[in-house]
Amino acid sequence: MADSSQSASVEISQPPQDAVTNVTFAPVPGDYSLLVSSWDAKVRIYDTAADQLKGVHEHKHAVLDCTFLTDSQKCVSGGLSTKVLGYDFVAGEESVIGHHREAVRVLRHQKSTGLVLSGSWDGTVKAWDTRTKTCTADMQVDGKVYVLDVTDDRVVVGTSKKQLLIYDSRNLAQPQTTRDQPLKFQFRCLRCFPDGKGYALSSTEGRIAWHYFDQSAESQANEYAFKCHRKTVDNVETVYPVHALAFHGIHGTFASGGGDGMVSVWDGRVKKRLWKIPDLKSSVSSLSFSADGTRLAISVSYQWEEGFKDDPPPNQLIVRTLEDVDVRPKEATA
Amino acid sequence: MSYCTARVCGSPRFSSASPCPRSSLPLSSQLQLELQLPPRREGRGTGRKKRKADVVKPFCYYCDREFDDEKVLVQHQKAKHFKCHQCHRKLDTATGLVVHMLQVHKETITKVPNALDGRDNPDVIVHGMEGVPAEFLHDRGDKGGAPGGGGAGGGGAQPNGMPVVPPMMPAAVPTPAMPSAFPFGGAYPAMMGGFMRPTMPTMPMIGAMGMVPRLPTPAAGMVPPAMGAAPGLVPPAAAMRPGMGMPGGLGMPPGLTPPGMTAPAQTNGEAAVASAEGGEGRGPRWVYQDEEISPEEKRAQLPQYKYAEAKAAAAAGP
């Protein structure tokens, strides 16, 4: 089912040289700038509408995550350098915002507070004021930080010990709730619902959990986890990690990308898949919807699921133009 | 209570002599009726595994998946094999799809989507069990009807001159009971979207278990193998059974089983890959298995990324 329908999938012509770790569209509707971090120690910004490389922020070490601030001018990135670095693409200025003791694995920008949250393998999450370059909160967690996301009023952190800590962003000293083993296998990606009511969490074992913050029995009853990104290879059911999740900001549907080179778009509320793109050349490492929800950026890079490979497939950045009907929840179309 | 022995219908019978009220069986299914042994139906639970050997279950010609109900089979075919990948319209037959693609999307397709090699010819008109070429039915019939002499239930002997499985393997011989032990026709939606409700009823695997030694599934404790994964997605047994009339015997070259392959690969990724590559895997294969360390951490150890250096600098740092 090669779902390469007429809707345009455009491949960016100058992709990074090494594996892509993250792609993020600018948070402003109508701005199709795409921020891309890579193991080749660069953060690039592309104008995807014109297929143009607009700027490069060079690190000394591989970059594991990046995020825009309020618009596509400024970004924050971090990685193996252990530093949280800010960059202004217009001024071409780098600023060191702060440090961790080990690599910075995840970075998210919280719009409501303007803070940037960084999670590291050193077992801490730090909140940064990017203007004053000060650390406003330093949260110790048990285990390495693998996943992190924010809503307007919460910070959610997932660790290598398979714990999920949910903080109230007004009080980052103590987690509001802690959840043990929401999934039984290593966490790969966490994204909160656009409405801030819950989150989707994916693991290395081809599974995604759909959870709510609300602890009432009613909400909890609607929680579930489902299997995905599995296929049968030579008669063996093969389970791939789900590396990437991305929510559609307007419709609340979400896309998932896995080691099987597939992207699926789901309606989490009615537990239905809307469509899928199969057979990309390698693992899907990251996904991002544009702010207006009309584009989906897909990064395709080998994710080291099976260790070192001499000749990994080439890295690709694909931007797919979406019809509204592609991402609208099922019930609305019916 | 007795059930329609034609098995395509599965509806309760009103009397064992009268024909099934529901299944107005097409020609191909009449063959099934001939093949089946005299009905002996005591309760559904215990009879299940025996009946399996008696009759041909409805199966998908294109992907060899078995179904309990022909209606579900038709749904499956429409969703998997007759669906337009562009507009997701479901057609009734493969030729329908070809015409649709040509007329609506100006695209020529030469293969039925998701079909096994050799069965992807869109000119063969199959709908449900109708139109399945006779040799496929016969092969299945012969297979199913073969007397499985005392206790040799799990697929019986190896017919058709297939190599005898090494002595260490019998436990892992695919059992035809497995896929069809999946009880509901309703399993279909689970397969479609991959969604699984937490309240899924326990699989009645007992029937199969009695007959076949428990499969050495890696990490059986972690993921119940019966949880629809294998049976829901693919019938491993059916696809692997030799002599089913698949041209070339599909992926069962002689001597395919390297020794030690059944060892559950638990500890590291490479082992899992190695064991699964033999193609004989029972239970799922995890592409990434390490629990305590992420792929990024492993990759960071490559000298070219100089992570140790960066960490040392950070420790000495500001």
Give the residue from chain B lying closest to A204, CA to CA. Answer: B288
Average pLDDT for B167-176: 40
Residue of B nearest to A259 (CA): B287
- Report which secondary-structure segment, H or E, holds B215: none
Determine, yes or no, domain membership for B125.
Answer: yes
Cα-trace Rg, chain B: 23
Amino acid at A87: Y
Average pLDDT rounded to a whole number, residues A50-71: 95
Among candidates A99, A204, A227 on the partner chain, residue whose Cβ is nearest the Cβ of B318: A99
Contacts of A64 in chain B (CB under 8 A): 296
Lowest mean pLDDT among A181-185, A313-317, B173-177: B173-177
Sign of the torsion formed by the C-alpha atoms of A272, A276, A279 and A283: negative
pLDDT, mean of residues B107-136: 84
Q: B317 falls in which pLDDT band (50, 70, 90)? A: low
Which residue of chain B is at minimal alpha-carbon distance from A6?
A: B86
Q: What is the ipTM of this complex?
A: 0.93
Residue A7 has what pLDDT? 57
Q: How far is B88 from chain A (nearest CA, A)?
A: 9
Q: Sorting pLDDT into bands at 50, 70 and 90, what band is A159? A: very high
Nearest to A241 by CA among A181, A309, A302: A302
Residues of B in contact with A160 (CB under 8 A): 292-294
The answer on pLDDT for B228 being more than 60 is no
Q: Give the model's pLDDT for residue B318.
A: 60
> Which residue's entry shows tokens 């399945």?
B132
Alpha helix (H) ranges present in chain B? Answer: 27-35, 44-54, 70-80, 94-105, 134-145, 177-180, 187-193, 206-211, 229-233, 236-240, 269-277, 295-300, 307-316
Q: Report pLDDT for B276.
A: 39
Inter-chain contact A204–B288, Cβ cutoff 8 Å? yes
Average pLDDT over residues B197-204: 41
In this model, does residue A264 exceed pLDDT 50? yes
* Mean pLDDT, rounded, for B26-49: 43
Confidence at residue A55, expressed as pLDDT on a 0 to 100 scale: 95
| pLDDT above 50 for B233 | no
Q: Is the pLDDT of residue B56 over 60?
A: yes
The listed range with the strongest mean pLDDT (A136-145, B6-15, B60-69, B254-263) is: A136-145
Q: Which residue on chain A is closest to B281 by alpha carbon?
A: A236
Per-residue HEC secondary structure of chain A comes to: CCCCCCCCEEECCCCCCCCEEEEEECCCCCCCEEEEEECCCEEEEEECCCCEEEEEEECCCCEEEEEECCCCCEEEEEECCCEEEEEECCCCEEEEEEECCCCEEEEEECCCCCEEEEEECCCEEEEEECCCCEEEEEEECCCCEEEEEECCCEEEEEECCCEEEEEECCEEEEEEEEEECCCCCCEEEEEECCCCCEEEEEECCCEEEEEECCCCHHHHHCCEEEECCEEEECCEEEECCEEEEEECCCCCCEEEEECCCCEEEEECCCCEEEEEECCCCCCEEEEEECCCCCEEEEEECCCCCCCCCCCCCCCEEEEEECCHHHHCCHHHHC
Give how far A129 is from chain B: nearest CA, Å: 19
pLDDT at B264 > cutoff 80 = no
Out of B194, B234, B280, name the one closest to residue A227 (CB): B194
Picking from A60-74, A312-326, B195-209, B290-304, which range would have the lowest pLDDT averaged per residue? B195-209
Of all residues in chain A, the one with the smallest CA distance to B272 is A306
| Within a domain: B254 | no
Instruction: Give the distance from residue B82's alpha carbon to the nearest chain A alpha carbon, in angstroms.
Output: 10
Contacts of B277 in chain A (CB under 8 A): 234
Sequence-ordered list of residues with C-beta below 8 angstroms from that of A2, at least 6 positions apart, any chain: A278, A279, B85
Taking only the tens place, the pLDDT of each residue in A162-180 is 999 999 999 999 999 999 9
Of B113, B281, B315, the CB nearest to A101: B315
Query: Could you give the CA distance from residue A121 to residue A105 in angstroms, rounded to a whole number?
Result: 7
- Residue B121: its pLDDT value, please? 86
Residues of B in contact with A2 (CB under 8 A): 85
Interface-testing mutation among B287, B299, B307, with chain A (most A C-beta atoms within 10 A): B287
Q: How confident is the model at residue A320 (pLDDT cuts 50, 70, 90)?
A: very high
Interchain proximity A80–B305, CB inside 8 Å: yes
**B216, pLDDT greater than 90:** no
CB-CB under 8 Å, B286 with A205: yes
pLDDT grade for B163, boundaries at 50, 70 and 90: very low
Residues of B in contact with A102 (CB under 8 A): 311, 314
What are residue B108's phi and psi, to 5 degrees?
A: -100, 130
- What's the confidence (pLDDT) of residue B141? 56
Q: Read off the pLDDT of residues A284-296 as tens digits, 9 standing for 90 and up.
A: 999 999 999 999 9
Chain B hits for A82, CB-CB cut-off 8 Å, are 310-311, 313-314, 317
Count of structural domains within chain B: 1
- A224 and B302 within 8 Å at the Cβ level: the answer is no
> Which tens digits make up the pLDDT trace of A62-90?
999 999 999 999 999 999 999 999 999 99
pLDDT average, residue stretch A195-204: 96
Point out the residue among B87, B234, B297 whose CB comes nearest to the CB of A237: B234
Q: Which two tokens stand for residue B158?
A: 């190896």
Q: Are B40 and B47 in contact (CB under 8 A)?
A: yes
Q: Give the residue on B whose Cα is nearest the Cα of A221.
A: B198
* Mutation target vs B (from A63, A275, A305; most B CBs, 10 A cutoff): A305
Q: Please give the Cα distance from A175 to A171 (Å, whole number).
A: 8
Q: How far is CA A63 from CA A59, A94, A213, in A?
A: 7, 14, 31
* pLDDT tier at B58, thresholds 50, 70, 90: confident
Identify which has the larger pLDDT, A96 or B47.
A96
Q: What pLDDT does residue B208 have?
A: 38
B66-78: pLDDT as tens digits: 888 888 899 899 9
Considering only the beta carbons, identify the residue of A103, A234, A305 that sits closest to B307. Answer: A103
Find the range with the poorest average confidence among A254-268, B2-16, B49-63.
Answer: B2-16
Q: Do A1 and B85 touch (CB under 8 A)?
A: yes
What's the pLDDT at A330? 75
For residue A185, which residues of chain B lie inside 8 Å, CB to CB?
Answer: 291
All domains in chain A, ordered by first residue: 9-304+314-323 (2.130.10.10)
**Across the strands, what pairs with B285?**
A238
As a whole number, mean pLDDT of residues B155-178 equals 39
Q: Whose CA is closest to B81, among B131, B24, B26?
A: B131
Q: Name the residue of chain B whose CA is nearest to A264's CA.
A: B193
Interface contact B236-A235, CB threshold 8 A = yes
Domain that holds residue B112: 70-141
Q: Compare all CA atoms of chain A with the CA of B273 and give the residue at the minimum distance.
A: A306
Mean pLDDT of all residues in B100-128? 85
**Which of B85, B196, B279 is closest, CB to CB, to A235?**
B279
Write out chain A residues lying below 8 Å of B192, CB-based. 273
Give one DSSP letter per residue of B138-204, joined into a string: HHHHHHHHS---TT-TTT-S--TTPPPPPTT-GGGSPPTHHHHT---TTHHHHHHH----TTPPPP-
CB contact under 8 A, B298 and A307: yes
Mean pLDDT for chain B overall: 58
CB atoms within 10 A of CB A195: 10
Q: Which of A14-18, B132-136, B198-202 has the highest mean pLDDT?
A: A14-18
Residue of B nearest to A21 (CA): B296
Q: Does residue A142 register a pLDDT over 60?
A: yes
Tell me, yes or no, whether B29 lies in a domain.
Answer: no
Which of B87, B194, B314 is facing A228, going by the closest CB pair? Answer: B194
Among the ranges given (A242-256, A310-324, B22-36), the one the predictor scored with the smallest mean pLDDT? B22-36
Compute the distance between CA of residue B22 and CA of residue B24 in angstroms, rounded to an integer: 6
From A82's Cα to the closest Cα of chain B, the distance in A is: 7
* pLDDT tens-digit series, residues A227-256: 999 998 888 899 999 999 999 999 999 999
The reply to whether residue A305 touches residue B269, judged by beta carbons under 8 angstroms, is yes
Write the CB contacts of B99 (distance below 8 Å, at least 6 apart in sequence): none
- The closest of B51, B71, B79, B61 to B180, measured between CA atoms, is B51
